[in-house]
Amino acid sequence: MEKIKVLIIDDSAFMRKLISDFLSEDSRIVVIGTARNGEDGIKKIKELKPDVVTLDVEMPVLDGLSALKRIMSEHPVPVLMLSSTTKEGAENTIQAMQMGAIDFIAKPSGSISLDLYKVKNELVTKVLLVSKVKANTLNNLSVIGKNSVPLHSSYSKMEPRVQKDSVGVKTDTSVSWLKAKKKMVVIGTSTGGPRALQQVLSKLPSDINAPILIVQHMPKGFTRSLANRLNTLSAIQVKEAEHGDLLQNGHAYIAPGGKHLKLKSLGNQVVIELDESPPINGHRPSVDILFESASHIEDYAKVAVVMTGMGSDGTNGLLKLAEKGNVKAIAESKETCIVFGMPKTAIATNLIDEIQKVEQIAETIVKYV
């Protein structure tokens, strides 16, 4: 089997050596070169044609974001960002993901740290994962999210249409759906999620008649930057969820990294509860936990959305939602997923009403709400 060729772009000689050593220990990976800044990195991408690039966010001469912009327009290649966990580092990382980087790794505590050995497995796993992203998906990334204009909420008066004759799509539609007065939207995503969320949330109208709850797999410290960035790009209000938040229509709540997001009825309102109970299949926040908890809020109909991501988080939660009834489920199509894992397992349940490209998901949500 051909080895995965990696180019490392980092201004720290220590980091270049460390990343190189970590990756070289895996027989499936070969480090074909290193570069000390973005300018040098772009030259080496042209010369060496790597399968994957690891890119430091903060560098002299040409910083990570400027380098990424040029890489995506001149030589699209799967990019894995390396970021510090500072507020600025987190903000730049979120921006990088929305500009086309596939994933990121947080340097645990500063750039030079023994903690880095803890991320060795994550580094190898993510390099192997991003190497599978196809060139046509990368080309889509550079055009996604441009000129998004929020849809009109009147669009939602359309009759819900159920896509038929597709594998994994259910064909029955419940009459009770149209009668439900209150609705909520629950969304789960992982790898490729920041870009997909931008594409969806930026198109939702500010007066959408539902609250939106989101689980994006991401470490602590990054979800707030994601929420802030999405808030500036969207007509709806987007925030990192806080314990005790009361759900409001036209507001999106993103589960904080490291905490599960659960919902609880409080009189005629719904309140957010955050907790640090054990991770589910390695995830906290977990999409399954959000979906299952939403299934117990009985006076709301739910629109459940499963988008790009590795693994199967969300599938068990979808089964729980379906058991309680009054749910419409949407999965992102393989065509636009960075990683067709979570949507694929969701589709396999036959509980999905519509399979849509990421650019059609907002429209589909509005139609059901």
| Cα–chain center distance at 330 | 15
Q: With residue 129 as reference, give the H or E element that holds it.
A: helix 120-130
Selecting among 190, 202, 234, 295, the annotated active-site residue is 190
The question of whether 313 is a catalytic residue gets the answer yes
Q: Which of 280, 276, 122, 94 is nearest to 197 (CA)?
A: 94
> Which residue has tokens 């949500």?
365
Side-chain-side CA neighbours of 187 within 13 Å: the count stands at: 27
Distance CA 96, CA 79 (A): 9
Q: Which residue has the tokens 């300018």?
A: 39
Residue of 10, 51, 313, 353 with catalytic role? 313
Is 277 catalytic? The answer is no
Cα-to-chain-centroid distance, residue 164: 27
Q: Identify the active-site residue in 40, 56, 83, 217.
A: 217
CB-based contact 328:183 (threshold 8 Å):
no
Active-site residue flag, 293: no
Phi, psi angles (nearest 5°) of residue 83: -135, 150
Helix axes 193-201, 87-99, angle to 10 degrees: 80
DSSP for 70-114 reads HHHHHS---EEEEE-SSHHHHHHHHHHHHHT--EEEE-BTBSS-G
The residues that are catalytic are 190, 217, 313
